[in-house]
Amino acid sequence: MERSNFDWSRFHAYRVFDEFVERFVLNRRSYITRHENELDFESAFHEIHSAFSEGYDDSNETFDTKVERQFADASEDSKIVFANVEYLWAILNMDRHYLLFERRNQPPYFHVFPLK
């Protein structure tokens, strides 16, 4: 295949990533929820850093339990931004996970925050 004829958009994963970048990164709208308002990245990332990084939980509880506790008082924007970033992380790691373990028939897992 000639390099000039290569078309990334033929690949579903590229199209999904491209849609994610346009909607979430460029337009600051949630890709994985129906939340249509523009997201405040600056305050959301500050709150995520505070809740998730500074509030690191090394207990043996499940990821879901820890995240729900860490983000219990977080704003809706912070929860939505974190969920979108986690979605991106999951997509990037899903291929590696499937390639390593050949588990192609299992659905991807995404944490869903209970929004108020």
56 vs 6 pLDDT, higher one: 56
Helix, coil or strand: residue 57? coil
pTM above 0.85? no
Q: How confident is the model at residue 44 (pLDDT cuts 50, 70, 90)?
A: very high
18 vs 12 pLDDT, higher one: 18
CA–CA separation, 60 vs 87, rounded Å?
Answer: 23
**Model pLDDT, residue 12:** 77
| Contacts (Cβ under 8 Å, ≥6 apart) of 104 | 98
* Residue 76 DSSP label: H
Rounded to 5°, angle at Cα 103 from 100 and 108: 105
Per-residue pLDDT tens digits for 50-74 = 998 888 888 999 888 998 999 999 9
Task: Report residue 109 as tokens.
Answer: 């897992």
